[in-house]
Structure 1
Amino acid sequence: MNAPAIGPLPTELLSHPAYRRVFKPGRLTFGFIMPLEGYPTSPFPTLEGHARLAKIADEAGFSALWMRDVPFYDPGFGDTGQMLDPFVYLGFLAGQTSKIALGTAGIVATLRDPLVVAKQAVSVDHLTDGRLLLGLSTGDRPVEYPAFNLDYENRGDRYREAFELIRTVTETSFPTAQTEFYGTLRGDIDLVPKPVHGRMPMLVVGRARQEMNWIAGHSDAWLWHLSDFRQLPDLLATWRASHVDTWLRPYGYGAFFDLAENPNEPLRYTGNGLRAGRNALIALLAHQQSQGVSHVAFNLKPLRRPAADALAELAEYVLPQFPAE
Structure 2
Amino acid sequence: MTASTTIPAPAAVDTSTAPSGHAGHARLFAPGELTLGLIMPLETYPYTSRPTMEGHLDMARKADAIGISGLWLRDIPFFDPAYGDAGQVLEPLVYISALASVTQRIALGTAGIVLPFREPNLLARQISALDQLSGGRMLAGLSSGDRPFEYPLFGADFGQRAEQFREVYRLYRKMAEEHAPAYSSQRFGRSPGGYSVLPKPPFGRTPTIAIGRAAQDTGWIAANMGGMIVPCPPAAAMDQTVSEWRAAVAEGTDGEVFKPFGIAGFLHLSQDRDHPFQRVRAGFRTGSRSLARFMAEAREAGVNHIALNPRFTDRPMDDVLADIERDILPHFPSLTA
In the superposition, the TM-score normalised over structure 2's length comes to: 0.91
Q: Indicate which of 323, 327, 330 corresponds to 1:317.
A: 327
Is 203-212 or 64-73 further displaced after alignment? 203-212
Q: How far apart, in 1, do the equivalents of 2:283 and 2:18 lie?
A: 35
Task: List structure 1 segments (4+ residues) > 3 angstroms apart after TM superposition.
Answer: 9-12
1:147 aligns with 2:153: yes
Q: Indicate which of 53, 59, 62 corresponds to 1:56.
A: 62
Deviations 1:48-70 (A, max 9, x none): 11111000001111110001000
Is 97-106 or 117-126 further displaced after alignment? 117-126
Q: CA deviation at 1:183?
A: 2.3
1:280 aligns with 2:251: no
1:40 aligns with 2:46: yes
**In the alignment, what sits opposite 2:190?**
184
Q: Indicate which of 80, 91, 95 corresponds to 1:89.
A: 95
Q: CA deviation at 1:191?
A: 0.8
Q: CA deviation at 1:120?
A: 0.9
The amino acid that maps onto 2:224 is: H
Question: 1:266–1:280: 8 Å Cα contact kept in structure 2?
Answer: yes
Q: Could you tell me which runs of 5 or more consecutive residues in structure 1 were left unpaired when the two chains were aligned.
A: 1-8
1:125 aligns with 2:131: yes
Calculate the aligned-residue CA RMSD, in Å.
1.5
Q: CA deviation at 1:209?
A: 1.5
Is 74-83 or 277-286 further displaced after alignment? 74-83
Task: Give identity over the alignment, percent.
Answer: 39
1:252 aligns with 2:265: no
Q: How far apart, in 2, do the equivalents of 1:14 and 1:319 lie?
A: 25
Q: How far apart, in 2, do the equivalents of 1:204 and 1:137 lie?
A: 6
Question: 2:112–2:142: 8 Å Cα contact kept in structure 1?
Answer: yes
Question: 1:216–1:248: 8 Å Cα contact kept in structure 2?
Answer: no
Q: How far apart, in 2, do the equivalents of 1:144 and 1:12 lie?
A: 33
1:293 aligns with 2:275: no
Is 15-24 or 230-239 further displaced after alignment? 230-239
**In the alignment, what sits opposite 2:25?**
19
Q: CA deviation at 1:262?
A: 0.8
Q: CA deviation at 1:233?
A: 1.4
Deviations 1:177-211 (A, max 9, x none): 22243221321211111111221111111121211
Is 189-198 or 97-106 further displaced after alignment? 189-198
The amino acid that maps onto 2:231 is: H
In the superposition, the TM-score normalised over structure 1's length comes to: 0.94
The amino acid that maps onto 1:140 is: D
Q: Indicate which of 222, 225, 231 corresponds to 2:228.
A: 222
Q: Could you tell me which runs of 5 or more consecutive residues in structure 2 were left unpaired when the two chains were aligned.
A: 1-14
Question: 1:37–1:303: 8 Å Cα contact kept in structure 2?
Answer: no
**In the alignment, what sits opposite 2:7?**
none
Is 79-88 or 270-279 further displaced after alignment? 270-279
Q: How far apart, in 2, do the equivalents of 1:111 and 1:12 lie?
A: 26
